[in-house]
A and B are shown apart, each in its own frame.
Chain A
């Protein structure tokens, strides 16, 4: 994280009453931001009879809802599906986006500009426009309701390629030349020399791709049809509709869908925030 000393050190003493008021207001705002999460967890610990009780701390907290939801096993399955999809797509992006980004940044070849512009132009095409052709394609090739069907549209992205290209451009050519003289082949140079130099960018890309795929909704909603293949968001929606407005159960499901990313965030907060800053500034 950028250290606090980098912030403009305005002449303002620490016990300035204005600062205290500002801090308090920011704190209240922050608490408001997490209120939905707090109530989600609180309600998931309540019995059906207690959900009309507005208290944040349940009178008699119970894990019964979690036990009931998890007993069916669907949530575990969806969790695994989401993990598989998010991890595979992330790895694929780390590999291909950086490979292409590197090639575009560090090689001079005919057609480079054309390839770059062509890839960049796909940023202008919204997913929504592609889903109908993708759906048709998936139906014909038997990809509907398969992991591959969920994953294939995102295996490499123009955003990631662009991001990686920007970072590879900062890698000095001398490093690569030296490796070439040592007789390394181009693949090894990329993999062993160039890649380690852009790890901050790789982690930013990984965070973005993982989060994006973990929470993805539109395409998985279309391409998955059986419960066994749902990702967490789709599973949660079908679960919520099936529960027919049993709010304590729906909140339990929502909590289960949220816990994994919250845990990841709390553990990796520094990296995630830095990754978002990096990607946001360069992307």
Chain B
């Protein structure tokens, strides 16, 4: 019954939009509210409209927490955007819910995309078709407190996992009561550590976290166990940190009470306001054999399923523009996120930048996890670590239980 009411609304809405489309095409672009992102997009829209006077782009924004719901609700009312930004991890859900349509092959040939973009864009590919392209990407790195390093007599960040432990021990300070004053490394699975564990540590221990299309959890093996053991040993055996210290890893780092923390590009803005100490960024530590990995993520721009005819044409043009090297440069300058095209990213200036450099260096070897329900999958990793930390569950059992839980989440989402 609800459906029928909806349909009536849709046809009414369709008539109105058809009438106003006669003169100039107006398309809607949706993204979530984040000041610099909105500013950057305003700039891009301005240049785009200058080059395409017959098209106007209206930017519509919503708070991040409810962005997804908004798109879904708008889709229920058939008032969805023509072009929208979406987290790559939502792609499956959005495709299944018919919220977005595949990019036209003639403007966006798959072969060209794969040649020019970093390999992580493949997360937007289904059955040979691309459903969206990112303007910018983010990756993880090790943030370290230079002042604390100096005090501990260390002159640079750790480069291997063993060094990470060794440095961490030197940097950890406890008071007489045995409580941490400063932790060597923050342990915060609810932050970015779950990504570090999944896509970095598991691979560095010789495993793979999932099969190729991320439909099957494959970390329940020796590599997964070794990875979790390494992670939990940081707290239990080496005592260089403890979960829950200062509530959040980034809070401890910002307060100067954590020497190192693993976090993403998106944290740069918040850490830039630190005045009490100097900090630096380094690539995530490699394993003994020099194997490196990273977790990269991005917001892709996609075309809404409701775009048709003239609007679709305009949407394609706009998407093409915001995926151009020019747009990526604007995004880097205004937002501080890394360009998604190799050529735009790997310029000498960017690579030698002390902050962006380590993040960019990770992109060629980075992986993206195809989440079906990021919050729920993150929870399995949090619980896995907590079972070891709080309940002394054997590491192997913890991994097996997590794998089973996560597999169930993936299976549920796929029926």
Contact = CB atoms under 8 A, between A and B. Distances in A.
Interface residues of B, number: 21
Interface in A114-157: 136, 139-140, 142, 144-145
Interface string A211-246: 000000000000001110000000000100000111
Given A139-B76, A140-B6, A245-B246, A225 B69 contact: yes
A246 B248 CA distance: 10
Q: Per DSSP, are chain A's interface residues mostly helix, strand or loop, or mixed? A: loop
Contacts of B2: 136, 140
A95 B5 CA distance: 32
B62 interface: yes
Contacts of A145: 66
Contact of B73 (A48, A139, A244, A246): A139
B243 to A, nearest CB: 14
A246 B6 CA distance: 45
A238 B65 CA distance: 10
Contact of B77 (A48, A139, A227, A238): A139
B250 interface: yes
Q: Per DSSP, are chain B's interface residues mostly helix, strand or loop, or mixed? A: helix
Contacts of B69: 225
B248 A244 contact: yes
B415 interface: no
A142 B70 CA distance: 11
Contacts of B250: 244
A11 to B, nearest CB: 52
Nearest to B62: A225
B62 A244 contact: no
B63 interface: yes
A246 B270 CA distance: 12
Interface string B14-52: 000000000000000000010000000000000000000
Contacts of B5: 140
A245 B63 contact: no
Interface string A69-108: 0000000000000000000000000000000000000000
Interface in B358-389: none
Contacts of A245: 246-248, 251
Contact of B251 (A140, A238, A246): A246
Nearest to B67: A225
Nearest to B2: A140
A140 B248 CA distance: 38
Given A136-B2, A225-B62, A225-B69, 8 more contacts: A139-B76, A142-B77, A225-B70, A226-B66, A238-B65, A244-B250, A245-B248, A245-B251
6 contacts: A140-B5, A142-B77, A225-B65, A244-B251, A245-B248, A246-B251
